Structure 1
């Protein structure tokens, strides 16, 4: 098992945001996490990334507990997050943003090779390397955030709402890129409001409601579930 979340609890003061959440991601999978706003999906990703402290439970990565690991060690171990809202560095160039993704690496040749890989995957970024990142469109900023994350050579990529605020044609493009990244060997844990798209590419999926996992199954099973169609797919 690549990533295992066991009975995870997180509190914001007196409010319990995660109430004993458990999920698993196997190597090579795309696992989607769907649910309404405020269900706890982002909290879960941020806790896995070491950005939030848990109040109970455990997170295992490649069989080892991340209990004592800080955010930097977690990136080093192979977990990288593309945050909701992209969070690129607006005053820096596209090229500098990409290099920030490799800040823990020392292998210059490997970094050079990975930059080429990012340019191939996101040709639009290559055309804009010297531009300030703030001048990019929303779709290009999302590509930059994903490219930057790939520069860390993650074993698993945590994607938080990659389609948010994008035009439908760009949403299709971003999802096709996610599938491609996965086909090249990177495991994906995807949090996404667009339940239809999220389930269409998922090997497995979980549904979250108010800090709990309430359903899980294959992407196909959940897409065809009457309950899910009513709640999330407008069926």
Structure 2
């Protein structure tokens, strides 16, 4: 479904990605784990057109989407939940969700998608008139995921969904991610909480200083001594 072929990305003179190749098959949950500054977020931003790669290709459903406008990439079926949630703090929950469907001109479809999001996140339905900036961190994360789902993506990119959240809330968010996947959305998950990410993923990639240094099934990565030592605190 998604293929990154030898992607090189720069920030000015700094080479952030050094020939990344990743494949995500339809229906999978794939995770990229690595330390801060390893290139995880840059990888997601390159996929969704927020950064153009210096070289290499991004393919989605066998089409070359390298360097396309982000709006075109969203229309093709990719949505991203950014790091730090990035909800619009002065707008209501409902307005934030409606913005997620801004490309869709079919009002009935938007209404149906809203109901699906409210089924997944009942708390958002109860707070739909509340100003987003007044929500708790966990609720804002749910809103950020809900807003992305309003675009009805085939592929959902998640950037550090557990960041800054209490363990109980993290467990809830990861249950929801699994549920979204079961309902047919393919997921590419970037996460510092490697144990949690690998516990729900089919396969994983380990990134260090802009290079993929290890790739395997999530089950094997959880047993890998190097991964245990570096990322699982063992």
Q: Same fold (TM over 0.5)?
A: yes
Distance 2:14 2:150 in 1: 36
Distance 2:87 2:207 in 1: 28
> Match of 2:42?
43
1:130 aligned counterpart, secondary structure: coil
Question: Is 1:206 aligned to residue 205 of structure 2?
Answer: yes
> Match of 1:194?
193
Distance 1:13 1:116 in 2: 43
2:128 aligned counterpart, secondary structure: coil
> Match of 1:84?
83
Distance 1:209 1:197 in 2: 19
Say how many residue pairs are matched: 234
- 1:29-178 to 2 correspondences below 5 Å: 29-178=28-177
2:177 aligned counterpart, secondary structure: helix
> Match of 1:24?
23
Question: Is 1:10 aligned to residue 9 of structure 2?
Answer: yes
2:123 aligned counterpart, secondary structure: helix
Whether the 8 Å CA contact 2:49–2:67 is kept in 1: the answer is no
1:35-69 alpha-carbon deviations (Å, 9 max, x no partner): 00000000000010100111000000000101252
Unaligned runs of 5+ in 1: none
Whether the 8 Å CA contact 2:199–2:218 is kept in 1: the answer is yes
Distance 1:14 1:147 in 2: 36
Distance 2:8 2:204 in 1: 20
> Match of 2:218?
219
Distance 1:229 1:26 in 2: 26
TM-score normalised by L of structure 2? 0.99
1:56-92 alpha-carbon deviations (Å, 9 max, x no partner): 0000000010125211100000000000001100010
Unaligned runs of 5+ in 2: none
1:32 aligned counterpart, secondary structure: strand
Distance 1:118 1:53 in 2: 31
Distance 1:215 1:59 in 2: 20
Higher mean alpha-carbon deviation, 14-23 vs 62-71, is at 62-71
Whether the 8 Å CA contact 2:92–2:130 is kept in 1: the answer is yes
Q: Report how far residue 13 of structure 1 moved.
A: 1.3
Decide whether aligned partners of structure 1 residues 68 and 214 sit closer, same or farther in structure 2, where only a CA change above 3 A counts: closer
Distance 1:130 1:228 in 2: 44
